[in-house]
């Protein structure tokens, strides 16, 4: 029967060349070198099996992800937190900085975002204190995790700008208009009026003349006179005086007297004498014509009653007037006889012998 050899010896016999004295020394050296390299590799692998999480607080997200990637770590997830720091800044990590992880492990990042418009974040960012590194435990057999895709970059919320305040231009208030006080123009005083001459007219016509001149009739006083009753004898103020418009003018008018004096009408013509008698309230009685040489016809020679005689108002006064001589042949007696005529008040003429 063949002798069964141990497995090791069989392996050596199968794969190792026959070893002589020189060849065996060289092969032993090579084996020692290979074993040394394996030990160094295992030591190096054992030393690099754990990765410490770096301090990422305060770094932008892009730099933090690049740093983790260079150290063999990945970004597992991200979360947002309102902060006064710029949007996208790393506030803290989970696990915290200093914690050792297996290569390829994932780290959560907490990123800053801006507060909504009109609100002020009350969060004060305080960098988390690095956690104490736990005691290193012998690394278990690392099972490589599936490569995680980097999280999508979350764009920060747009900063809402307040609407521009539209400032309207100031209203220019014009200065108040100074209105000068009204000029009070005093009307000119009315022009003075002259008292019209109404002496000799009756009362009614005198009142009309005063009204036409802008005046009025004041008191009316009657006075005995030889003139017809109601005739204006005088005015107060007198005619021609300057008075204010609307002034009152007093009238003195004639009234019928019980007796009047016969006016002196001798030498007047017949018509004038009759007018003078009427003005005294008398009338013409009979008229007697007498031929008087060298006298014009119609002249009053005398009155009956005589001038100055007091008679009752309305009495008749007889007149003796001149007559033109008549040219007649002389009578046989050598004389001429003239028979004067007498005219009554009713127009009849009588002769006197």
Q: What is the pLDDT of residues 104-152, one digit of tens each?
A: 888 999 999 987 765 544 444 444 444 444 444 445 545 456 556 555 5
Going by C-alpha positions, the residue among 313, 322, 265 that lies closest to residue 288 is 322
CA–CA dist 191, 315 (Å, integer) = 48
Position 255 confidence tier, pLDDT thresholds 50, 70, 90:
confident
Please give the share of the chain, as a percent, with pLDDT higher than 70: 69
On whether the pTM is more than 0.75, the answer is no
pLDDT, one tens digit per residue, over 34-78 is 888 877 766 665 555 688 888 988 899 898 889 888 888 888 888
List the structure tokens of 350: 């009588």
Domains and CATH numbers, the chain: 51-113 (3.30.10.20), 193-256 (3.30.10.20), 259-326+339-350 (3.30.10.20)
The H or E element spanning position 261 is: strand 259-261
Pair 109, 64: CB distance under 8 Å: yes
Q: Which two tokens stand for residue 153?
A: 């970059």
């Amino acid at each position: 029967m063949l002798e069964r050899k141990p497995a090791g010896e069989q392996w050596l016999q199968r794969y190792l060349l026959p070893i002589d004295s020189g060849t065996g020394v060289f092969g032993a050296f090579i084996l020692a070198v290979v074993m040394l390299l394996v030990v160094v590799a295992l030591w190096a692998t054992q030393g690099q099996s754990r990765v410490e999480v770096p301090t990422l607080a305060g770094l932008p997200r892009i730099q933090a992800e690049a740093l983790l990637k260079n150290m063999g770590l990945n970004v597992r997830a991200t979360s947002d937190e309102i902060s006064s720091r710029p949007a996208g800044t790393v506030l803290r990590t989970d696990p915290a900085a200093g914690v050792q992880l297996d290569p390829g492990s994932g780290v959560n990042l907490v990123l800053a975002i801006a507060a909504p418009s009109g609100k002020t974040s009350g969060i004060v960012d305080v960098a988390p204190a690095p956690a104490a590194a736990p005691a290193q435990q012998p690394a278990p057999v690392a099972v490589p995790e599936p490569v995680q895709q980097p999280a999508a970059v979350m764009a920060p919320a747009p900063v809402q700008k307040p609407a521009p305040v539209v400032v309207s231009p100031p209203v220019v208030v014009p200065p108040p208009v100074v209105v000068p006080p009204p000029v009070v123009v005093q009307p000119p005083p009315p022009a003075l009026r002259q008292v019209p001459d109404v002496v000799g007219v009756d009362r009614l016509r005198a009142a009309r003349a005063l009204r036409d001149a802008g005046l009025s009739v004041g008191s009316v006083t009657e006075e005995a006179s030889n003139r017809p009753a109601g005739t204006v004898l005088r005015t107060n103020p007198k005619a021609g005086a300057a008075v204010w418009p609307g002034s009152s003018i007093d009238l003195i008018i004639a009234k019928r007297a019980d007796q009047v004096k016969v006016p002196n009408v001798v030498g007047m013509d017949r018509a004038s004498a009759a007018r003078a008698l009427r003005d005294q309230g008398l009338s013409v009685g009979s008229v007697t014509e007498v031929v008087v040489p060298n006298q014009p016809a119609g002249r009053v020679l005398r009155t009956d009653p005589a001038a100055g005689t007091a008679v009752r108002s309305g009495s008749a006064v007889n007149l003796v007037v001149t007559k033109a001589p008549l040219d007649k042949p002389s009578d046989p007696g050598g004389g001429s006889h003239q028979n004067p005529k007498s005219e009554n008040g009713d127009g009849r003429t009588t002769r006197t012998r």
